[in-house]
Amino acid sequence: MSNRRRPAVGRYRDRATVQKLKAAATKDPLGPVKRETAANWETYETIYVEEDATGAKSVDTGHGSAEVAYMLRTPYSTEAAAILPTYRLLMEDGRILHVVAAYPDGNSRREVIIEATQTV
């Protein structure tokens, strides 16, 4: 097995649509924005990522029974570096990942690392 880096084209195979809440999102009758409603989200950008599941834990949310953590990498861009924890990723296979953090990988600015979770 070689220690050479794989070309970037082969690394970032999974497409993700980055979404952010609309400014005029529909509110729940009790006040907070309905984050589960698809119509409350708008596309921020589409990126290609390399995805790794980093762990899972049991949760009792009423919506699912486990939370899966992911670390995603995407080529650096100012748009990718500006992703906020209030955003979500709609993956090509239909999964919805909620962004926990997004930050450049070190000082090189080659990649942006996105930490996200999914309730299953």
Q: What is the pLDDT of residues 21-72, one digit of tens each?
A: 887 766 666 666 667 777 789 999 999 999 998 988 776 666 657 889 999 9
Q: Residues 86-92: what's their mean pLDDT? A: 95
Split at pLDDT 50, 70, 90, the class of 104 is very high
Q: What are the C-alpha distances in Å from 8 to residues 48, 67, 73, 80, 89?
A: 10, 29, 11, 16, 21
**Partners of 103 in beta bridges:** 113
Q: What is the pLDDT of residue 116?
A: 96
Question: Where does residue 53 rank: exposed (0-12), middle (13-18), buried (19+ CB within 10 A)?
Answer: exposed
Q: Which homologous superfamily is 9-119 in?
A: Bacteriophage SPP1 head-tail adaptor protein (2.40.10.270)
Q: What is the pLDDT of residue 10?
A: 66
Provide the residue ranges of all domains of the chain, joining segments of one domain with +.
Answer: 9-119
Q: Residue 44 has which token pair?
A: 């921020």
